[in-house]
Structure 1
Amino acid sequence: MGKSRIESLVEDYLNYRIDQLPIAFDEGKDSIEQFKLHTIKRLKVAFNLFSDHGCGLNNFLIALRDYLLTFQTDICLDKIKIPEDNLFAISRDPQSERYFAAFCFPDYINHAFVEYSYLNAECSEKHSIKDYALHTDPAIRKITGFSFFKSMDQKLAVYGALNTPDGFTTLVSLPTGGGKSLITQTLSYQKDGLTVVIVPTVSLAIDQVRVAKQIIKSSNIDSEIFSYSSGVDAAPILRAIKQKAARMLFISPESLINNQGFSDVIKEANATRYLKNIVIDEAHIVVDWGASFRIDYQCLESWRKKMLLSNPSIRTILLSATYERHCVSILKDFFAHDGKWIEIRCDSLRHEPHYMLVKAKSYTDKNRKMLELVRKMPHPMIIYVARPDDASDIKNLLNENGISNVKTFTGLTTGPKRKELIDAWVDDQFEIMIATSAFGVGVDKSDVRTVLHMYIPQNPNAYYQELGRGGRDKLPCLSIMCIHPDDINISFQRISKKVMTTEKIIGRWNSMYNSKSSQRVGNLNYIDTTIKPNYSVADTFDDTPTSDADMNWNIYVILLLRRYGLICIREVLPQSGKYIFVIEIIEDALRVNDNRLFQEIDQIRVTEWAYYVDAFHSMQHAIKNSGKVCWSEMFYETYDKVSEYCAGCNAHSNVNEGDFLEFPLKVPVKMPMKELAQDQLALFGGASDIIFIATESQEAQLVNFLMEKRLAVLVISTDKNIEHYLDSITCLKNLLILNGCSLRELIKRKSHYYISGVVAVSYSGTPKEIYDQLIYITNNLSKQPGIKVVHILRENTFFEWINKAFSDLVDGSVIPIKSVCPYA
């Protein structure tokens, strides 16, 4: 449907000429069209509410302004009179009698950034002058139908996970929008068995199942892929797991640990080694949220260890877009078992946000600016605040100014209400969400155009996670922080409440350890986390119900002691809303309340405090130097594996593309190498290489034979050498396909994790090109431990300038193609 036809229908609808708006809102051909259609949907919702007296004119004007500026159009409204002095810069042309919207942005805002976000020109993608082979393999083609990966980042992430040996943990970073879901999909169908995918929100679980069922090519899809959340009938899921039909289960850590039905059936699946993979999506949450209001995330450590006792071959995959060094250290401590740890780092900074810092003169001026930003900036919009009380205050202020279709989402929002809000938010039923940090991760709304921070987050990582809710459709968005002079001190005071004093940590520990409710069995201590401390001061736990404060702080103390190695958590036992931690004491000082205990606790408290303060100072430094130093510098410093990137900020308007030419793999992945089996070694007869002379038609059969011998890598000279026969290969195993460019980049980074085992090289081109490739392969792969090379070429090429043939330069014999492929 063309633009003019759409605009005509919208005008008819708003003038009551038609009862329905015959537009398919979810059928945009790309992100830009999808956003525009949803802009109309939000206008329709606002108009209906206004018509039904569900909310006032201002809510409608916000949606109308977005529509007029996004479509760069005007409109005739016969039934609605818009005041001339409205605050939304919507005016009426006296000649045409049509309404139009002017940009009319505040002078403290970068106008170009906002116009760019309204016009929705596609964000600049990271292109490279290097041409990498993005082919998938026969197994992935069979499972998903995909012939190519979206990017080299995705290809490295997928094979990084698929190559994970039994019993290993692989941490994978892949940028937002990079296609992480393909990792869980291919991993789940790589082997027969169950993959448990731990996700943070119901909406993410539901969306992952929806996407997986669209992509996975299986006739039994409905009995293989499931998600569970409160209110879902568990019986079919439990039955599928018991019958060993289920392949993927998306579930929250709370349901995994607290739901007895799932706890029992997964233990049973694990005992029979039907459980193959544990995937933790948005794995940074284990650290960021697991130490406070989502403590079941840090309980996953002990849960996984119990699974490994009877099933040591389980593979664990940790997924996220970016990791800070502190986070990786904790995840490695939690999930690395006997050093079985791999990192696939394709970290990169977001390309979509344009950053702006707005400084208000006072609290009153801050509220005035906030109202102006809500009226004039593009929507949907998230307004982030520090506390539930702040969310209520802003909502009341917006209501007082006629903006009422606004919702709040905080740590005090109950479970059923959370689902209701998320569903309505994703469905465009309102376009302004006021939230604390409890909202965001895993919420699948891709078209948020503005993220407005009305407070200073405690560190750049927390800030980046929140602003990252914007622009997930890969289109431009705005990240605006609006603060007044006192906000620095207010934010620092909140930081001081994040780390308990030494005396309080000791008080809570001793109260739990010495309580009659905390039993001791041998060297194990069953710690009841509902015990009140032996001091009288009432502690509050920010952004959570007051009634849970004591339990949350007690759990904070236990997890703090675990992070610093003073205790070991053997098991977590949920019991009617409370948690019993089964722990083993590592540091004997915890047994006696004396000066040694004070010194031990004070030392870790000082370390913990220093981390929070240093991180906060990064935020403070960015604010102080805004306009002089690039705003994204703090992210570049926080995430040590990313390269510089900033779409624009107070310091510069031009894009800083520091990652433009970089290979996406940021750190070497040297180990583990694939182990060569006897049948593979027998093929080479003691040599490091072998040669096959094969015609084009024979090559497909040869590669099929080699895949039966677990061929790990196929190196191609050009795409023409492979595309014509990949689909004809019948051995459906995973195979990493590389061209010369991607092979050289991996070798340069000493990443033989990707290129070990049996490696086949298919040659083509002039004798000089074949010679150069052979010398490179010989120098870098042949005779390397853990690598055997198969050379495939059309003829035994003769190199006149050295008077030698190809076979003269290879440590291995020429094997007749008929000896391995009789029908070739």
Structure 2
Amino acid sequence: MINYLQELQNSWSCPIKGLANTSSDWQNTPHWRLLKALNDNNYRGKDLMVLFRSVIQYEKINNSKLASLKIPKNLCTSILQEEYKLASLDVRQTSSANTCIRSFEWYPQWLPHANKESLESRLFIDENCHSKTECAGDPFLKFLNFQRYRSNAQREAVRSVLCAPPGQTLVLILPTGSGKSVCAFIPAILYPSVESELMGVTPIVVPTISLALDLAAKIENIVGHRVAYRPEERENALGIRMRCESGTQGPLIVSPEVFVGSLFSTLLKSAKNGHIRHVVVDEAHMILNWGDEFRPSFQQMSSARRKLLSQTKTPFVTVLMSATLTQYHLESLEKMFSENENLTIVHATRLRPEPIYWQAQAPTKKQRIDWILEAIHHLPRPLILYTTLKSSCIEWNNIIINNGFQRVSMIHGDITPREYQKQLQRWKENDVDIIIATSAFGLGVDKADVRVVIHAELPESLDRFYQDVGRGGRNGNPCLSLLIWTLDDWEIVDSLSAPTFIGGEKGRKRWNAMFNSKKVVDKAESIYCVSLNSAPELDMKSEQNRLWNLRTLLLMDRAEIINIEHPTKENTRNFANVRLSTLGHTQLKLWDERIVPFRNDLNQHYAKQKELLAKMLNFDMSCCISSLFEECYKSNRYQIPIVRACGGCFHCREKSQRPFCGKILPRRTPKITFSQKTVGKDLQKLLKTDKLGCVYYPSTIKGDKLLNAIQDLVLWLIDQGVKNIVSFENLEKRLWKTPYNDRSRLFFLHQDVPCDITKNQPTVFVLDQSPTTWWPKTWEIIQDSLPTTTILIIPINTQAPDHPNRYVYDVLPCPSIQLQSWEEEYLE
């Protein structure tokens, strides 16, 4: 085990020496971060001072013998004597070469309950807030270099995606850090059959460049080519287009704008050729959160998906993924992305146990600045400071830099993509300690060690607050959430809390102007092409006018006045094809009947979000903050319960309640299992018209000889369409190794009778001579009613559990074959 303090002291004169140690535990310490800062000669002063404090606090908590830290004097020359007090530090010179620094606990008087508990006390403890939830994996995970699932919830989600019938829509709600990306990658890299070695095309739509690059970095080495489509990289973009058309691309990571725009014609060709088997949308809550307002392409994905479905030979599976979805999100996604009640929700919604929540109301803006600067002088790094407005982001960047901090970066929506990537890379590589950002930052950025998230303004909703706080503690360790607000912040909340949807009369005028510009596409089907540049008044022709027209059409689509038919390549940007869904679409009465209730539902949703945010800020609240998050995300209609967790909040500190974390439990809504897959002709021949078949092997065959024989049989059954394997340990190990060396053999390993989403998939039970818990249960199922095609591979002398003196082959009337006979007839 590394002695972190000793490692630090050995590296004072040569920080690169300590940085060469790549242990993840070491790199998660303030000692390592201090060396990282020291290695950058451009940074000194307060950045180092706060890191000195973090090292001392870490050692005081984990090694109570340490009272102070001796630091080479030359490292302290850039820090003024009076500045140490700002970080609750005391400095003394102990020799001509060293300076001794002591730290004192920080109890900010302006923060309620800070006198009861130190804000830093849990931030330096190597304490994982989650209980271990790993479970046995399926062999196809090895293509992503995994052997186990992170949890039962991840296993249920992955298996649901792979078992879903054509045309199904799946919503996966899994906690942050549960491995949702595996649910997108596995179906994207597997081959559809033994005969085909084409991965096909799996579009994975993501909201931000950072998330696209993160996902691409995880999968490109596995598939061997570029997967993130960026139009500005012309050569790579051309290669991706060619692979999409030939069906060899596999995972394809795109933005919503690319999915509905520049790449859509290529995706249409791919769909017509039958290459698209899954379409995945990550961070699906953003379809509403951003699509309702400033990125309408998010909602255009609905019509683009319908168009692709109409052209494909076999309907693809749609997968929508998120860590949290409100009932408003779920209702909207169901309407936009599913048909004929084919929506299934796999959910395991557990709140984050890592954040420790603190909040304070500042009487003035100046007081808030003082309090946040005090916090920044004390709290450990990495640290994110969130603002709601871009102007506030810029202001805080200037304030923090002017106060002597230099390891600082800023990200907001108006910086260029190149600058965004530059600052994001600095953040990921720990070249900065503080990042100041608007709430868009961090979405999908998987930086594990963020210790502190500060909100310098009220976010527009409780949902937004929870999403922001979720950037911290992704490694499972405690993190701190600090919200400091003023009454003036409510003006910002009121202006941003609900999207600005167009009213009935103005919307109808826009629609009339667009409909007057129509060209007939298919009169029999009532499909018309309308111009998005049409304007109800002459002085309204602009890009904003085009966006308002697009928002109007999206609103009409969701209100079921029209259906947007995704346009062809030639008119993607300035025109839209629409199918009329009802008569009277130009009349104000219909608009009032359809649009007004829709707007009312939307306003109620955002009003609830504001109400919950206000409750959180009320220090007289009689409940844990987790109950507010539960109210935000639970859904009675979709039967989605919320498993509560809390790392600490005002209520829990008041009641001396310890941090708690509920157990994650996967569920499905509705509680169905997908219908069984068909099996191959040879297996049908063996079974005749029965669901059950037996393969008997001599009880004298044991060891490797038995494994070799059964292994060949099991692989043959997999090729014939069997998906579930219930067997003994040695055979499972064999199936994990060399025999499974292609991506077309998809199967699931079980330690017991399948009872999850795979229950109705064709199953083989392999029994050896050793006792097993699942055999009696299997026998009961066989005697009762088989849910699916079932094969038994058992020793010839296996006794029937309910007939101890009789063998299975005497009491089980079903097609059967001896192992040797199967080898002679079916094994080439």
For 1:115, the equivalent position in structure 2 comes to: 120
Percent of aligned pairs with the same residue? 19
User: Does residue 50 of the first structure (1) align with residue 53 of the second (2)?
Assistant: no
Which AA in structure 1 matches 2:293? S
Once residues 538 and 25 of structure 2 are traced to their aligned partners in structure 1, the CA distance between those partners, rounded to angstroms, is 56
User: Does residue 664 of the first structure (1) align with residue 674 of the second (2)?
Assistant: no
Residues 516 and 688 of structure 1: CA distance in aligned 2, closer, same or farther (over 3 Å): closer
1:347-366 alignment runs, 5 A limit: 347-366=349-368
Once the two structures are superposed, residues 454-481 of structure 1 have per-residue CA deviations (whole angstroms, 9 ceiling, x without a partner) of 3333333222221111122222211222
Once residues 401 and 36 of structure 1 are traced to their aligned partners in structure 2, the CA distance between those partners, rounded to angstroms, is 22
Once residues 612 and 549 of structure 1 are traced to their aligned partners in structure 2, the CA distance between those partners, rounded to angstroms, is 24
- The DSSP-based 3-state class of the residue aligned with 1:48 is coil
Once residues 764 and 484 of structure 1 are traced to their aligned partners in structure 2, the CA distance between those partners, rounded to angstroms, is 70
Which AA in structure 2 matches 1:176? T
Once the two structures are superposed, residues 518-545 of structure 1 have per-residue CA deviations (whole angstroms, 9 ceiling, x without a partner) of 4342434444445566599x99xxxxxx
For 1:237, the equivalent position in structure 2 comes to: 240
Q: Which residue of 711, 724, 732 corresponds with 1:713? A: 724
Once residues 275 and 725 of structure 1 are traced to their aligned partners in structure 2, the CA distance between those partners, rounded to angstroms, is 29
Which AA in structure 2 matches 1:659? G
Which AA in structure 1 matches 2:202? T
1:27-426 alignment runs, 5 A limit: 28-30=22-24, 33-34=27-28, 36=30, 39-40=33-34, 42-44=36-38, 48-50=41-43, 57-70=45-58, 74-79=69-74, 80-81=76-77, 82-86=79-83, 87-95=86-94, 97-107=99-109, 108=111, 110=114, 114-127=119-132, 134-137=136-139, 139-141=140-142, 143-191=143-191, 192=198, 193-214=200-221, 216=222, 221-223=223-225, 225-228=227-230, 230-231=232-233, 233=235, 234-259=237-262, 262-313=263-314, 314-403=316-405, 405-426=407-428
Residues 35 and 686 of structure 1: CA distance in aligned 2, closer, same or farther (over 3 Å): farther
How far did residue 517 of structure 1 move? 8.4
Q: Which residue of 691, 694, 704 corresponds with 2:694? A: 691
Residues 38 and 213 of structure 1: CA distance in aligned 2, closer, same or farther (over 3 Å): farther
Structure 1 window deviating more from structure 2 (342-351 vs 95-104): it is 95-104
Once residues 388 and 815 of structure 2 are traced to their aligned partners in structure 1, the CA distance between those partners, rounded to angstroms, is 70
Once residues 794 and 135 of structure 1 are traced to their aligned partners in structure 2, the CA distance between those partners, rounded to angstroms, is 31
Structure 1 window deviating more from structure 2 (728-737 vs 376-385): it is 728-737
- The DSSP-based 3-state class of the residue aligned with 2:650 is coil
Once the two structures are superposed, residues 125-156 of structure 1 have per-residue CA deviations (whole angstroms, 9 ceiling, x without a partner) of 2346xxx861322x444x34533333322222
CA contact (8 A) 2:679 2:720 kept: no
How far did residue 555 of structure 1 move? 3.4
TM-score (norm 2): 0.84
Once residues 388 and 772 of structure 2 are traced to their aligned partners in structure 1, the CA distance between those partners, rounded to angstroms, is 65
Once residues 735 and 643 of structure 1 are traced to their aligned partners in structure 2, the CA distance between those partners, rounded to angstroms, is 31
Alignment RMSD:
3.5
CA contact (8 A) 2:160 2:758 kept: yes
CA contact (8 A) 1:700 1:725 kept: yes
Residues 485 and 415 of structure 1: CA distance in aligned 2, closer, same or farther (over 3 Å): same
Once residues 391 and 292 of structure 2 are traced to their aligned partners in structure 1, the CA distance between those partners, rounded to angstroms, is 22
CA contact (8 A) 1:689 1:811 kept: no
For 1:638, the equivalent position in structure 2 comes to: 632
Once residues 273 and 161 of structure 1 are traced to their aligned partners in structure 2, the CA distance between those partners, rounded to angstroms, is 18
Residues 176 and 182 of structure 1: CA distance in aligned 2, closer, same or farther (over 3 Å): same
Once the two structures are superposed, residues 604-656 of structure 1 have per-residue CA deviations (whole angstroms, 9 ceiling, x without a partner) of 22222111112221222232256631112122222223311112222225555
Residues 240 and 769 of structure 1: CA distance in aligned 2, closer, same or farther (over 3 Å): closer
Structure 1 spans left out of the alignment, 5+ residues: 13-17, 52-56, 540-546
Q: Which residue of 682, 690, 700 corresponds with 2:711? A: 700
Q: Which residue of 720, 727, 732 corresponds with 2:737? A: 727
Residues 761 and 98 of structure 1: CA distance in aligned 2, closer, same or farther (over 3 Å): same
- The DSSP-based 3-state class of the residue aligned with 2:750 is strand
For 2:64, the equivalent position in structure 1 comes to: none
How far did residue 187 of structure 1 move? 1.0
- The DSSP-based 3-state class of the residue aligned with 2:42 is helix
How far did residue 710 of structure 1 move? 1.3
- The DSSP-based 3-state class of the residue aligned with 1:22 is helix
For 1:580, the equivalent position in structure 2 comes to: 575
CA contact (8 A) 1:133 1:739 kept: no
Once the two structures are superposed, residues 275-310 of structure 1 have per-residue CA deviations (whole angstroms, 9 ceiling, x without a partner) of 333222222222221222222221111222222222
CA contact (8 A) 1:348 1:643 kept: yes
Structure 1 window deviating more from structure 2 (205-214 vs 567-576): it is 567-576
Once residues 734 and 246 of structure 1 are traced to their aligned partners in structure 2, the CA distance between those partners, rounded to angstroms, is 19
Once residues 37 and 552 of structure 1 are traced to their aligned partners in structure 2, the CA distance between those partners, rounded to angstroms, is 50
- The DSSP-based 3-state class of the residue aligned with 1:396 is helix
Once the two structures are superposed, residues 702-724 of structure 1 have per-residue CA deviations (whole angstroms, 9 ceiling, x without a partner) of 322321221111224x6455324
- The DSSP-based 3-state class of the residue aligned with 2:785 is coil
- The DSSP-based 3-state class of the residue aligned with 1:275 is coil
Once the two structures are superposed, residues 671-705 of structure 1 have per-residue CA deviations (whole angstroms, 9 ceiling, x without a partner) of 43114347344433344433333454243233223
Once residues 573 and 117 of structure 1 are traced to their aligned partners in structure 2, the CA distance between those partners, rounded to angstroms, is 56
CA contact (8 A) 2:30 2:54 kept: no
- The DSSP-based 3-state class of the residue aligned with 2:817 is coil
Which AA in structure 2 matches 1:295? P
User: Does residue 510 of the first structure (1) align with residue 509 of the second (2)?
Assistant: yes
Which AA in structure 2 matches 1:199? V
How far did residue 569 of structure 1 move? 1.1
Structure 1 window deviating more from structure 2 (355-364 vs 561-570): it is 355-364
CA contact (8 A) 1:517 1:528 kept: no
Once residues 224 and 645 of structure 1 are traced to their aligned partners in structure 2, the CA distance between those partners, rounded to angstroms, is 39
CA contact (8 A) 2:279 2:319 kept: yes
CA contact (8 A) 1:644 1:656 kept: no
1:423-822 alignment runs, 5 A limit: 423-488=425-490, 490-495=492-497, 498-500=499-501, 502=503, 505-514=504-513, 518-521=517-520, 522=523, 523-530=526-533, 549-572=544-567, 579-592=574-587, 594-624=588-618, 628-640=622-634, 641=640, 642-652=642-652, 654-655=657-658, 657=660, 659-660=662-663, 662-665=664-667, 667=669, 669-677=671-679, 679=681, 680-694=683-697, 695=701, 696-697=706-707, 698-716=709-727, 719-720=729-730, 722-730=732-740, 733-740=745-752, 743=753, 747=755, 751=756, 753-763=757-767, 769=773, 772-778=776-782, 783-790=785-792, 792-793=794-795, 795-797=797-799, 799=801, 803-807=805-809, 810=812, 812=814, 814-822=816-824
CA contact (8 A) 2:680 2:721 kept: no
Which AA in structure 1 matches 2:591? L
Once residues 778 and 515 of structure 2 are traced to their aligned partners in structure 1, the CA distance between those partners, rounded to angstroms, is 73
CA contact (8 A) 2:461 2:493 kept: no
Once residues 311 and 471 of structure 2 are traced to their aligned partners in structure 1, the CA distance between those partners, rounded to angstroms, is 40
For 2:9, the equivalent position in structure 1 comes to: 8
Which AA in structure 1 matches 2:50? I
Once residues 527 and 120 of structure 1 are traced to their aligned partners in structure 2, the CA distance between those partners, rounded to angstroms, is 61
Once the two structures are superposed, residues 552-607 of structure 1 have per-residue CA deviations (whole angstroms, 9 ceiling, x without a partner) of 44433332222222221112579899543322332434313x44533443222222
CA contact (8 A) 1:448 1:472 kept: yes
Residues 819 and 500 of structure 1: CA distance in aligned 2, closer, same or farther (over 3 Å): same
- The DSSP-based 3-state class of the residue aligned with 2:435 is strand
Once residues 520 and 31 of structure 1 are traced to their aligned partners in structure 2, the CA distance between those partners, rounded to angstroms, is 64
Once residues 35 and 299 of structure 2 are traced to their aligned partners in structure 1, the CA distance between those partners, rounded to angstroms, is 40
How far did residue 402 of structure 1 move? 3.0
Which AA in structure 1 matches 2:80? P
